[in-house]
Each structure stands twice: as structure tokens, then as C-alpha cells.
Amino acid sequence: MKSVLIVGAGRLGKGFVGETFFNANWEVAFLDNDIKVIEELNNKEEYIVRVHTTDNVFDNVISGYKAFFTDDNYSVMDSFLKSDLIMLPLYPKDFEEAAKYLAKCFEEQYKQNPKSKKTLICLTNKNKIINKITKYFRDSLENQETKEWFDANVVVRDSIVRRSTDADSNHSTNLITTAVASLLIQEPVNVDFGDVKWLELREKIEILKDIKVFTINGPHAATAYFGAYKGYVDIPSASDDPEIAELIKKIHDVTVDAVLYEFPVTREEIRELEYLPNAKDEMVDSIYRVAFDPVRKVGEGDRFMGVVKLCEKYNFDYSPISKALALAFLYDESKDENSQIIQDELKSGDIKKIVAKYIGRDETDEIVNQVADYYEKLKNKDKSYAN
């Protein structure tokens, strides 16, 4: 039986990755640095995923897995050594910590079997960070011999996540997921996972990922931030609001125009990437999940500022995206740590200085001025923000 080690046992790790490999009859092991997540998995010995496909909705009970905390005794070691594949559904900020912890496992892998190979697949919306992640893992290794083995036998690959997975919390053992589109994975890899449904190897992942983040994640996040501003709690309700729908259309249209100028793709290829079939009785996506971590989402090169940069390059009007950014800075969610970091700074700080800091621009840049202006109008409920 093939085995997979899933580093990160939160919503995506359990609801998509664990459920997918369980269905393929792989041996599944989880590793997480949150003791509550691991205790819940081990105490209950199973978890439930409500799966929405295009034709059906069913509850899948996942059992027979192993779950390990990142303890000092490395209880995960045996599962790591026998793993055919390592999946990393992590936030960008967590990869360095994961690399440092797993270094001892890689050292032992080389010691026990220097001919073995590993494949690591990263599941994060952040693009162009695979070289950085690879360096995290390599630099965490102490022995030069292990580093040389790592260079020759370990591959770190990117992916494009195209499904929603949600739960009340990371440690919840009741999850909901849509199963309508495959995880697109950068090739080549050192393992055959042809027996696993919803995994698909693709070329040009870096280009496709930029396009996906810009054309799908950008408008999606904008819907969440505008929806929160207007008091909605779920994405469908926000999407049905005519004012929100109008802004999202403007964001999407200018994004597609910019993408077509920048990348060697056709409009049909963009449609194919964007198109996700409707799931039966599709789960209601929450504002909280989609809006989570505005610090990352407003950052340089991400779903908003990446498109702004293209608009500047090709002289497109990016004012709809400026409004989305302003809404992100207004997002105030007590359960979202990074939302509160921004809000705390805004209580006593200058809006232009704070915007410039988080979007990675100079305070005199036009984009900073636009975002700050929209922010003040939105904050004061000035309807001229619609202009």
C-alpha cells in the first residue's frame, strides 16, 4: 500500500488531501504543530467529510489514519520514512518551520536509504515561492552529504488548488468540501499517483497559477471584503448584491484584459482554468474563510497588487482594484489575527503610510492615494466611493 504524509491537518489537509488519498486506498498520516488538531483526530479515530460533487452529496467517514504532533521524540519518523509522497497544505509563513522540523527526518531518510526519492507538493495560493521553499528544506539540513542527496533525489513542486473546503475550525472533525475540479500539480515528480482521483500533472504551473490567483482569487476576495462591509456572512448572498456584483465584474474584466496582454494564453485557456462545474447543493462559502488574512491578500504580487502591476504596465484603469484594497483594509474580524493587526495600526496611524507598508509601495504612489481615498469614503459611508 502506498503512503502519504500530510503536513498540515487543518481544513484543506483533512477535507481535501486526506479524503482524496483515503479514497485511493493509500495509507494516510497527518503531522501538525497544533496539539488540539492532533488530539481531536486521535481521540475520535475518524472524521467526516461531506462531499459535494456535480451529481451527488454524501458523507465520507475517514478512518485508519495516523496523526502526529511535532513532538521532540519525532513520533512521525516511521511514517515519514515509508511515505511515497509528502503533501504540504500550509500557509506560506509556515513552510520554513515545517522545513526545520522535518530536517531530522530527511537526515534519517538519507542514512537509511540513500537511493530513496521524495516528492513534496505544496498547496498554497502564493506563487513564485517554490525556490524559497526548496531552500528552506535544503538549508535546514546539517550534513553536506544529505544536501547533495536532497538535490539529486527530492523534488519540491507547486500546485493550483481549485476546490473549497471548510469547517468550523482547523481542529474540527466535521468538514465540507466540493469535488468538481482537480488539483493541478507541477511536473515532473518522483512518484506515481495515477491511482488518485483529483490529482493532475500540468505544464506551465507558474503561469497558470498567476492567472488563477488573479482571475479567480482576486474577485473572490473582493466579494468577501465588500460583503463584510455590507454585513453579509456568506459569499452567495454578497454575490447577489447588485452593487457588489457590479464591482466584481469590473475587477474581473480588467484582470482578464491585463492577463491576456501579459501571458501567452488565449481567452479560451483562461475560461478553462476559471470554469469550475457547479456542485450539487453546493456548500455556502463563508465570508470569513474567503476574507481570511488580509495582510497576505493585499501584499505585493498577490491577487490585487499583482494585477495592479500589470495594469500599470499596460495602462489599464485599476481603480476597481483600488476599491477592493480599501475594503480589505476596512475588514475588521475579531477571529482573524491579521485583520486585527491592521485595525490596531489604523487606530493611531496614517492611512497612506499603512497602505504603503502592506501593499509594498511608496507613500507617493498613485495606487496608495487611490486606496486611501476610497478607504476614507467607505469608512464615512460617502456614496461617492461608487465613482
Every domain of the chain and the residues it spans: 3-203, 206-386
pLDDT at residue 386 is higher than 70: no
Nearest to 329 by CA among 304, 298, 361: 298
* Residue 242 grid coordinates: 447588485
Give pLDDT tens digits for 49-102.
Answer: 999 999 999 999 999 999 999 999 999 999 999 999 999 999 999 999 999 999
Topology (CATH level 3) of domain 206-386: N-(1-d-carboxylethyl)-l-norvaline Dehydrogenase; domain 2 (1.10.1040)
Q: Do residues 54 and 280 touch, judged by C-beta distance below 8 A?
A: yes
Q: What whole-number distance in Å separates Cα of residue 279 and Cα of residue 94?
A: 31
Q: Average the pLDDT over 221-244 and give the result.
A: 97
pTM value is 0.80
Residues 6+ apart with CB under 8 A from 351: 329, 372, 375, 376
* Residue 132 grid coordinates: 524559497
CA angle (152 as vertex; 147, 154 as ends), nearest 5: 80
Peptide bond into 188 cis (omega under 30): yes
Give pLDDT tens digits for 267-308.
Answer: 998 988 888 888 888 778 899 999 999 999 999 999 999 999
pLDDT at 41: 98
DSSP labels for 252-316? Answer: HHHHHHHHHHHSS--HHHHHHHH--PPPTT----BHHHHH--HHHHTSTTSTTHHHHHHHHHHT-
Homologous superfamily of the 3-203 domain (CATH): NAD(P)-binding Rossmann-like Domain (3.40.50.720)
